[in-house]
Amino acid sequence: MEAGLTANLWKNAPPELENLTAGYLQFYQFCGSVRFAIYSKLRAFRTRSISVSNAGSSSTVLTLKSTEDIPWGTYTHHYDAVQITNNSTGQSSWIVGSDESDMSDMQVEDGGNGAQTDSVTVDTSSFANGSYTATLFVRDGVDRVSSEPATTTFTITSNSDIGTGKTIQLSANPTSLNVGQSSTLTATAISIPSTDYIKIVDSSLSNTLPGNQSSYSDGLSGEKSLVTTATYDKVGSVSYVAQEINETTGGIDAQSPPVTVTWTAPAASITLTPSSDTQVQSGTPVTISYKATGMISGEFVVVQAITDNGAKNAWYDSGDKNSSNFDYEVESPVNGASVSVKYVATIYNGSLDRLATAYSGTITWVSQKPTITITASPQTNVPGEPSEIQYSVNTLSPGDTISVVGTGGSHPWNVSNQTNYVEQYQQMKTQPLDKQSRQITRRISMTQVVMW
């Protein structure tokens, strides 16, 4: 196709085709029957805006505009989601919908094709003074998202007669604590109309109040006080105010000065036991355990052996988020050998920084080298008199057995696969001068000769 014709096609093409190549555009122009298939692969639309009016009072009106382009089908709805961010703290909260990744998480609005205008009124009475950004996300009836979200900024300022503390006050105890701990917030109304109730507000939108919310109230009109707790699982400061809310209008009749509570990361520490050198016999179980304090969300413990001379059952614990844990270890060396293990336990944060470390003592499992003896009593005897033969072994490891081999004589003592530490045998010889020996064999062998 000539270049001029291609350019003309681009000029007259609908805007949603602007990212297609010229080849695809020609395909669109001359194969109109597949137009809808091409549409389904394009971004949904680009025209959208968000504007603010009435900012700075107890409520703020957001006007949401978008243009959906679905010239086919009978789609009758589009989907909005709005997120507001405190520009000072970076804290964000969804005020329309709960997410923008799928239309099922967004608010359904009428209108499936063409220009749409929606309006939402946001209760900004609990917002701290300062600058905020509102971000609009839109999806059309086939779940296509707009190419870029729309944003606008606005400023909240309190009325001059709110926040003086003349009619309501708020206290926090404590105001400085470790991450994950709770501060008690107490609102006290010095004077309150019978039609007002008290609300405590997390002005930083950090969702630290009961139910992971940014405000708390029991809705009891005329009450003089309200108590709740604030809990934060992150490091940072959160601002709170108490308000007297008119139950008829929903407006703020009075507001306390702000109170700030600060959460800090505690100093992490860890202990590991046994902490001193320990020696036990082969086959004896030993408990190894750690206990950590000051761990917060995202931190974890790693336990591993740092010396290991042949251990078969050493403990390895990686990424453990528990504040304590333990393991039983058994090592079984034999024939006088030993096995030693020493452990280290470390607390890491999400950036893999080492926060605390502890070392165990050296744990040693020892085994005895076996010895064996064999005796005869009496060793010299006369025909017809018995002689008592006995073996004795000092230790047996799992799987060890004892064999006794007798040579000479007519009835020598011969046994095998014995597991007793001591055994006896009585033998009587009737013929004189007949020599007989008894031999016990294991790793160490001894021979005892008995003569009649």
Write 81-84 long-range contacts (CB < 8 A, 24+): 81/105, 81/106, 81/107, 81/136, 81/137, 81/138, 82/50, 82/120, 82/134, 82/135, 82/136, 82/137, 83/134, 83/135, 83/137, 84/122, 84/132, 84/133, 84/134, 84/135, 84/205
Residue 448, strand partner residues = 438
Res 226: pLDDT: 97
Edge to edge, the sheet with strand 48-53 lists: 48-53, 59-68, 114-123
Degrees, nearest 5: CA angle 35-36-40: 120
Residue ranges in 45-88 assigned as alpha helix (H)? none
Read off the pTM.
0.41
Exposure of 93 by Cβ count < 10 A (0-12 exposed, 13-18 middle, 19+ buried)? middle
Query: Which of 363, 397, 214 is closest to 278 using CA atoms?
Result: 363
Report d(CA 260, CA 176) in Å as an integer. 9
The residue type at 80: D
Are 77 and 109 within 8 A, CB to CB?
yes
Q: Which helix (H) or strand (E) holds 4?
A: helix 3-12
- Residue appearing with tokens 């073996």: 391
The CB density around residue 127, as the number of other CB atoms within 10 Å, is 27
Per-residue pLDDT of the chain (452 residues; tens, 9 = 90+): 333 333 333 334 444 444 443 333 444 444 444 443 344 334 445 556 877 776 655 667 778 888 877 766 678 888 999 999 988 778 888 989 999 888 899 999 888 888 888 888 887 766 766 778 999 899 888 888 876 788 888 877 654 445 555 579 999 999 999 888 999 999 999 878 888 899 999 998 889 999 999 999 999 998 999 999 999 988 899 999 999 998 888 888 888 999 999 999 888 899 999 999 999 999 999 999 999 998 888 899 999 999 878 899 999 999 899 999 999 999 999 888 999 999 999 999 988 999 999 999 999 999 888 888 888 888 777 777 788 888 888 877 777 788 888 877 667 788 888 888 777 777 665 554 344 443 333 333 444 444 44
Res 174: pLDDT: 96
Res 158: pLDDT: 55
Report d(CA 322, CA 297) in Å as an integer. 11
Res 439: pLDDT: 38
Are 151 and 100 within 8 A, CB to CB?
no
Ordered by where they begin, the domains of the chain are 3-39 (no CATH), 48-156 (2.60.40.2550), 168-264 (2.60.40.10), 269-366 (2.60.40.3450), 372-451 (2.60.40)
DSSP string spanning 132-188? EEEEEEEE-TT-PBPSS-EEEEEEE---TTSSS-SSEEEEEE-SEEETT-EEEEEEE
> What phi and psi values does residue 399 have, to the nearest 5 degrees?
95, -10
Query: Could you tell me the CA-to-CA distances from 349 to 295, 299, 301, 353 in Å, in that order?
Result: 9, 4, 9, 6
Are 407 and 436 within 8 A, CB to CB?
yes
Query: Which of 138, 177, 109, 173 is closest to 48 using CA atoms?
Result: 138
Res 166: pLDDT: 58
Q: How many helices (H) and strands (E) does the chain have?
A: 3, 33
Degrees, nearest 5: CA angle 219-225-229: 80
